[in-house]
Amino acid sequence: AQSVAQPEDQVNVAEGNPLTVKCTYSVSGNPYLFWYVQYPNRGLQFLLKYITGDNLVKGSYGFEAEFNKSQTSFHLKKPSALVSDSALYFCAVTGDTGFQKLVFGTGTRLLVSP
Amino acid sequence: DVKVTQSSRYLVKRTGEKVFLECVQDMDHENMFWYRQDPGLGLRLIYFSYDVKMKEKGDIPEGYSVSREKKERFSLILESASTNQTSMYLCASSFQGLETQYFGPGTRLLVL
């Protein structure tokens, strides 16, 4: 069965500094990986996804994620954080073998201070 | 843009009441999903549907049922609400199985 781990409950970063939100996964077959963001009292918004191809995926709002097959990781990154990036971030994975559900991590709260 | 709407943003119900949560998507998506979100647990799949009148149990279907009579609409039903069903409920849809899921704004349900 597939699984996702987001090892940090919260990440704190100063505005203007680079940020990384970590995600590792386990899946049967080739992974399909997603990042979503949730602002307070809102649904999840899609940020980016990896299916195949280039290991560096670019997404919305200046975010990008790096797929690393050997480390089974898909960390979310941004070169320069904004206060408005403060939100809850979810990593999710499914696999291309049979019908597999999308499994979400427990979420990482990003707090960007001015 | 994909639009997924949910009938209520906030609901307060009494224990034992029957509760209906409605979800509508406007992109002719095949698949629709219901999740609940609880702090520290992430999102957990309750039920999903890959076609009209078709439904499949997710990871936590107990105490819930669903209905999909039309392609664009997927309803979650709490037959007899209990306090442990107090949660944020999120609906999502996707075109096909491995495609991106798009989420509605969520319904925050409080069962007293």
What mean pLDDT is predicted for residues B84-99?
A: 89
Kind and range of the H or E run holding A64 = strand A64-68
Looking at the structure of chain B, the number of domains it has is: 1
Task: Mention every residue, 6+ apart, whose C-beta is less than 8 A from residue B8.
Answer: B21, B107
Q: Does a structural domain hold residue B54?
A: yes
pLDDT tens digits for range B48-75: 999 898 899 999 999 999 999 999 999 9
What span, in angstroms and rounded, lies between the C-alpha atoms of A39 and A89?
Answer: 9
| B31 token code pair | 């698949």
B2 pLDDT band (50/70/90 cuts)? Answer: low
Please give the pLDDT value at position B35.
96
CB contact under 8 A, A41 and B108: yes
What span, in angstroms and rounded, lies between the C-alpha atoms of A91 and B106?
Answer: 18
Residue of A30, A44, A91 to mutate when probing chain B, most B C-beta within 10 A? A44
pLDDT tens digits for range A46-104: 999 998 888 999 999 999 999 999 999 999 999 999 999 999 999 999 887 666 688 99
pLDDT tens digits for range A14-51: 999 999 999 999 988 888 999 999 998 788 999 999 98
Distance from the Cα of B39 to chain A's closest Cα (Å) equals 8
Q: Does a structural domain hold residue B14?
A: yes
- For residue A13, list its beta bridge partners: A112
| A33 token code pair | 């990986």
Instruction: Judge whether residue A113 has pLDDT over 90.
Output: yes
**Block residue for tokens 């899921």:** B101
CATH superfamily of A3-113: Immunoglobulins (2.60.40.10)
Residue B74 maps to which CATH number? Answer: 2.60.40.10
Neighbours of B105 (CB within 10 A): 16
CB contact under 8 A, A106 and B41: yes
pLDDT tens digits for range B6-26: 999 999 999 999 999 999 999
Please give the pLDDT value at position A26.
92
**CA proximity to A92, closest of B102, B21, B105, B20:** B102
What span, in angstroms and rounded, lies between the C-alpha atoms of B40 and B22?
Answer: 25
Share of chain B above pLDDT 90, in %: 81
What residue spans define the domains of chain A? 3-113
What span, in angstroms and rounded, lies between the C-alpha atoms of B70 and B74?
Answer: 8
CB contact under 8 A, B4 and A94: no
Please give the pLDDT value at position A52.
83
Which residue range is the domain that position B20 belongs to? 4-96
What span, in angstroms and rounded, lies between the C-alpha atoms of B55 and B102?
Answer: 18
Q: Does a structural domain hold residue B111?
A: no
Share of chain B above pLDDT 70, in %: 96
Give the three-state DSSP class for B84: helix
